[in-house]
Amino acid sequence: MWKKLIGTIILGGFAYAGYDYYRAGFHTAPTHQPGDFLLSYSNGFRAVMRGIDDEKADRTYLGYPANNVPSWYQDTWSICRPPSDEETRAFTTHVEIGPGGRLDAVCEIDTDGDVFIRGWVASVPDL
């Protein structure tokens, strides 16, 4: 009986991991370069963090999707880059992240040469 129970728990764990992987869209992630890392949010915002240090152990990443994104791009992976000083100032005047918070990335989608902002990724200390 214990073997069946343990087997069921292990099988359930694998099933949930597969479901979570599929739900987050990692199966559709684009090929990424060494040093890139992926972030996926339940609202459909998906980000390939490029040229940005992975600080998941020390910080919590917050995704802020843009409001004016067409529905057919809601689940598209965006490429994120470090923000310029001007972009950081503009973001912090509109969004209050709180103490220790910072803007880490501006995420864009390139549609046949027409690039638009998909969203922003900020982070706060993981206390």
- The residues that bridge with 119 in the sheet, in sequence order, are 65, 107
Whole-number Å distance between alpha carbons of 48 and 44: 13
pLDDT of residue 120: 95
Supply 119's token pair. 């969203």
- Kindly report, residue by residue over 73-82, the tens digit of the pLDDT: 888 899 999 9
User: Please, are residues 25 and 75 in contact by the beta-carbon 8 Å criterion?
Assistant: yes
pLDDT of residue 124: 95
Average pLDDT for 36-54 = 89
Q: What is the widest separation between alpha-carbon atoms in the chain?
A: 63
Task: Mark residue 67 as left, alpha or beta (left: phi above 0; alpha: psi -120 to 50; beta: remaining).
Answer: alpha
CA angle 122, 88, 98 (to 5 degrees): 50
Three-state DSSP state, 101: coil
User: Please, are residues 38 and 32 in contact by the beta-carbon 8 Å criterion?
Assistant: yes
pLDDT: is 66 or 23 the higher one? 66
What mean pLDDT is reported for the chain? 84
